[in-house]
Amino acid sequence: MMKQIPNLAQMRAFNGDYTVFTTTTGEQGIADRQGNVIYGPTDKHQHITHSWGTIFEIMTIKPHFQLQQIDARTGQIIEKCIQYPGLGTDIVYREGQLWGVCDADYNTIILPQYQTLMVKQGYYWVQNQAGKWGAIDAKGNQHLPMEYDEVVREAVNERSDMIIVAKDGKYYQIDKDGNPLSKQYNYLRPATAEGYAIIRNEIGLAIINPNEQIIAQTHYQEHYRRNCYPDWLFYWCTPDCIAFCEEGDFGIMNAQGKMIAEPKYSHVMHSNLSDVIIVRESSVENEYDYEGAIRTNGEVVLPMEYQSIIPRKKYNILIIKKNDKYGLVDNRGNMILPMEYDSMSINNEQGLAAIAVSKDGESYLINEKGERVSEN
């Protein structure tokens, strides 16, 4: 339980050892689990949000707009423009339009000299000011020469271990040491599922499996539709299923090309549950675009009657909203918590042991049995 913070009105869920609190007069601050005020309270024209790790962002609205970052470990403003975690405990930062790397105490390791810097498979993939790409290690030593025309951004992320490069107009996959892993293509992009990729042939875009065999062929020449939502025309909605668009409606097929659901949905959402797909239907008669959930074999988990469905992979559950009330179900659609709450959220650290809810104007924490465990 936190020590008293003067005029405390609200306290957010902890991110690690720190939380953002708000006073009754609208000022915000940062406190630790022992109730020590690390920063603030600020004036009501400042808004504090958690960025990542121990880093919080402070946005000042008046008298002049300003963005600053603060390290909750020290309560001090960070002079560097911190962007995201690097290798190990290091941090990627930006100075003007150039990118570099510093350690956890913000001492520079790699000077800001690159137009782009991305983290993948134990190396930094960088673009120099001449526009060429290569890879460097954690100390800035050259690992792969700056000879690539492009490193596909979608391939250098946490969803896929693929590294796709372009050289002399051809795209191909390489390993972290630069050894080719695929044929060369005029177009190559990663699919969400591990080892799958998207190519363009004489017909259109197609999905290939890890053996580079086509499993799904489309007539589309591009991945996406401009000025539309969803803009992607086909994509992986689970590790084993593909959502595709046909005359404005979305259907679902599995990785072998078998139809799971005919095109009838206005949207098929990316689901972080391996065997549950969230789908949406639009209706001109209703205020909301209703959502439902189906299994990867086509069985209905939740009927198409919810305002929103939010999957939580870590606990294999779904937060559901209907008639402006929230509840909780498992991945089979079985009710865990009834739909009687005005809001509901689950903190990654405390999980189902401390679910933040509000009801009848009161906010508090409950467990998965619905038992109150503390004030929120």
Give pLDDT tens digits for 24-81.
888 999 999 888 899 988 877 889 999 888 999 999 888 888 889 999 998 899 989 9
Instruction: Return the SS3 of 75.
Output: coil
Q: Is residue 71 part of a domain?
A: yes
What's the domain count of the chain?
2
Q: Is residue 124 part of a domain?
A: no
CATH of the domain at 5: 2.40.10.360
Q: Is residue 111 part of a domain?
A: no
Rounded to the nearest integer, the mean pLDDT of the chain is 86
Structural domain that includes position 51: 1-78
**Residue 115 burial (CB count, 10 A):** 15
Q: Is residue 41 part of a domain?
A: yes
Two tokens at 7?
């005029």
Two tokens at 106?
């913000």
**pTM summary value:** 0.66
Mean pLDDT of 282-302: 81
Two tokens at 12?
């957010």
Q: Report cis status (omega within 30 of 0) of the bond before 338.
A: no
Region of poorest pLDDT, from 162-166, 274-278, 284-288, 372-376: 284-288
Instruction: Give percent above pLDDT 90 in the chain.
Output: 46
The predicted-structure confidence for 121-137, as pLDDT tens digits, reads as follows 899 999 999 999 999 99
Quick check: 225 pLDDT over 90? no
Mean pLDDT of 136-158: 87
Q: Is residue 280 part of a domain?
A: no
Q: Is residue 345 part of a domain?
A: yes
Which of 57, 78, 99 delimits the end of a domain?
78
Two tokens at 138?
């954690």
Cα 232 from chain centre: 17
Instruction: Give percent above pLDDT 70 in the chain.
Output: 91
pLDDT for the residue 1: 45
Neighbouring-strand partners of residue 150: 166
Which of 51, 78, 105 delimits the end of a domain?
78
Q: Is residue 31 part of a domain?
A: yes
Quick check: 146 pLDDT over 70? yes
What backbone phi and psi angles, to 5 degrees, belong to 336? Answer: -105, -50
Q: Is residue 258 part of a domain?
A: no
**How far lies 232's CA from each of 152, 221, 253, 310, 315, in Å?**
17, 12, 15, 20, 28
